[in-house]
Structure 1
């Protein structure tokens, strides 16, 4: 890599984990002297509505902290439903490819998910005769099968073929977990030397311990409550209906569940809350990134949950790092690498996904635990996002 890098992915003001990772890595690279261009769409996640101040134009340019951001037209769909989202993904693939043809670059980085972003990067690398890097943030289409969105039909088999071709063709691969790297090596016969693991991390300038927001607690009517909080996407993978069903079994009236966010399952969760008559659950809409810290400040325990699936044993949710940075103990319903990390760094308790007995027992243990028993500082130091961005940059520079 010389001076110019072209990156495809979600980008702020969207505040989900992929957008945050792309922005914070690119910002660090610019500070290291790299010229970075990001191709993305009009911000609309998760509701499928373009944010105020933006429009779904064919092509527009803005500059954010030294990063050149090109926004292209897409068929915008909300983060629910399968067919419309696929059309959305394909439209971005085509628009981003065309826009990329007119960008000077030495290296192309394309992220997965969504998978069609990687296809656009591959196409552009071919036509521009440039090297490209595939950043693997999810095992797609494995994750589609894991949440039951699609059976293994001809479409899935085609996506699996594309996945294999992308891994084989990429100049280098950046994985966000060790498990992903092992899978790519074993199932796709990719040399280990072509793959680097750069995990999600912590923006310590944004997330750090602060005093609870008493005004927000009062506004939400949660005085004298032990708050278990979930802030993020309410999707099929997160199995939050299980949490609501467990909340119905919690007898301790001081325990309250706070959910903040949106997603494909939000409407179903609202209906379930109403049907169960839950008084100990609040389901709030998503908030801006700058407000997330205030909401995190008022929780006593941070919930990180995924449905029970072998596929999700390989993931490492970014919520773990933000919660640790805020010194919030974690209630983890994820197996595999995430569980190993939480236990290794002693930042929370885990339960077997979708196991009601273990979940309720873990809540009781956390409520009765002393905050001093948790060790957050070591994890925060080991996963500083600036350091991780520099690590990725060094890997990209290697011949």
Structure 2
């Protein structure tokens, strides 16, 4: 089978969509399938092309057996709605055109969070006469409405109509959460074509390891209880709450607790300015590092903080870093209610707190810094729970769903062309 996958994030970018897509495609190649990925020049989230790459009209490379086709797009940092939309639309156009140069795909998959990529996937599927599968990673544009990034409600209403069109046209929808499936079903989407394949972790990379002493010393973290946030510093993440907790800890003399931030995003400049204004000596900001090096920084953490702003929409999401934390054996302080909080509580892999509640976060940090045995138990539980979210098994499950959707789509099409024959007869 030849799988054509469209995504605007792919390694060497290190965000969740890039990691999931690469790790799934890698496993499908290992299973004997041909995989072509259409993406753009790596630039997320700074909006600068990575060293060694150029924003060319068309470029090709092979990555772990995956044929990667990179197309030109208008590149913008992960901030400013108008420029980001131009970025997304330009990729939609060039990715659709590039799909015409891909030899005989059997199925076209496109992934959100922004669904202009899904638009390209649908268009490519029509042009190539192949089934279209929508991988749903985020309820976009609902997430735009939730963070207030766009004020024109008429445009959001139009985008939501486009969203429904794509759901209905997809041969199958693969969602990353059960909550997303319930949401789509409530919209009137046929539940039988919605499947759930959660995020997970590459257990060959993310596993328990000792702290890197030299790195800790270099960053001035030796002897500290390190609480870390690793990931995108975006509007949705509400990281001001973490700075408020750090301010309280500093004012109360809890000097042994230190907060480490690693990553980039639309809010990072404001966050670093806020930390400087508050004169926070217990906070360190670091820029994004390559995927292979991220585990070195995870190893420094005594606890990982996961947080999103307080809004009903975010109760439906499961932050992908949750699985990496568990696999590393790092206890979690989890400020995201809903399906992800159930994983934390049911597996006893961490403690939850209310989103945007800095006082509760401060209290949980103090609790785990003083009760190291509890922290150790939570971390050990995480390693066990993470086995259920091994990326290898999840990729295999998604592959079976793709094959099933392909069978159903081809059968339905041929049966429409030759009424009276069964699906099995049309496929012989």
TM, length-normalised to structure 1: 0.98
The match for 1:249 is 248
Displacement of 1:286: 1.3
Question: Within 2, Cα distance between the matches of 1:128 and 1:360?
Answer: 54
Gaps of at least 5 residues in structure 1 are none
Residue 85 of structure 1 aligns to a residue whose secondary structure is helix
The match for 1:169 is 169
Q: Deviations over 1:96-155 (max 9, x none)?
A: 000001212010000111210000011111222211000000000011011110135111
1:299 aligns with 2:301: yes
Displacement of 1:59: 0.4
Displacement of 1:86: 0.5
Question: Within 2, Cα distance between the matches of 1:278 and 1:372?
Answer: 28
Question: Within 2, Cα distance between the matches of 1:246 and 1:362?
Answer: 10
Question: Within 2, Cα distance between the matches of 1:254 and 1:240?
Answer: 21
Displacement of 1:377: 3.0
The match for 1:135 is 135
Question: Within 1, Cα distance between the matches of 2:153 and 2:286?
Answer: 37
1:276 aligns with 2:282: no
The match for 2:377 is 373
Question: Within 2, Cα distance between the matches of 1:361 and 1:225?
Answer: 17
Q: How does 1:81-230 map to 2 (within 5 A)?
A: 81-103=80-102, 104-151=104-151, 153-187=153-187, 189-230=188-229
Q: Which runs of 4+ in 1 moved over 2 A?
A: none
Name the larger-Rg structure.
2
**RMSD across aligned positions (CA):** 1.0
Question: Within 1, Cα distance between the matches of 2:274 and 2:382?
Answer: 35
Structure with bigger helix share is 2
Residue 346 of structure 2 aligns to a residue whose secondary structure is helix
Matched-pair contact (CA < 8 Å) for 2:328–2:383: no
Matched-pair contact (CA < 8 Å) for 1:75–1:88: yes
Q: Deviations over 1:178-234 (max 9, x none)?
A: 1001101112x1222201100000101111111100001100011111000011110
Question: Within 1, Cα distance between the matches of 2:129 and 2:216?
Answer: 56
The match for 1:324 is 326
Gaps of at least 5 residues in structure 2 are 409-428
Q: Which stretch shows the higher mean deviation, 105-114 or 352-361?
A: 352-361
